[in-house]
Amino acid sequence: MDEKVLDSGSLNEKKLIELAHEARKRAYTPYSHFQVGAALVTKQGKVYLGCNIENASYTPSNCAERTAFFKAVSEGEREFAAIAVVGGAEGTEGKETCSPCGVCRQVMREFCAPEEFRILLEDGKGGILNYSLAELLPLGFGPENLAR
């Protein structure tokens, strides 16, 4: 990737949304025909893309957001700044609001500071919605909640 999406604390939201759309093109959705793409950026500006991947028995399916996180974590990344998520029915531009599911929010909570981590969504009107993880997962359960 030529252009950094994170530079000196400034997030290029539009670029991150564009990358999520690129990831969406790779989605494997023969059952739901609902394609989702995600672009996850680390605090150092590295981007990991993910798409949803379905399975005929349904439960082994994986969301785009978790695909991006698992790719990044498997490469040693542990500090994340933001994720852009886009989605929509197959054959559409996928520009309506597509919010992460509860399981994906919980995965984000495992690795991200709730007040700092940003979740970017399209608003269906050409704009970008920008939420903190805390806003989308109030009273979230994290590693610090486990007895040590």
Q: Which residues are catalytic?
A: 65
Q: Which residues contact 125 (CB under 8 A, 6 or more apart)?
A: none
For 132, phi then psi, to 5°, come to -85, 160
- The per-residue b/e assignment along 111-131, b for 16 or more CB within 10 angstroms, e otherwise, is bbebeebbbbbbeeeeeeeee
* Angstrom distances, CA of residue 81 to CA of 31, 50, 64: 32, 16, 17
The answer to whether the CB of 112 falls within 8 A of the CB of 145 is no
Tokens representing 26 are: 């790779």
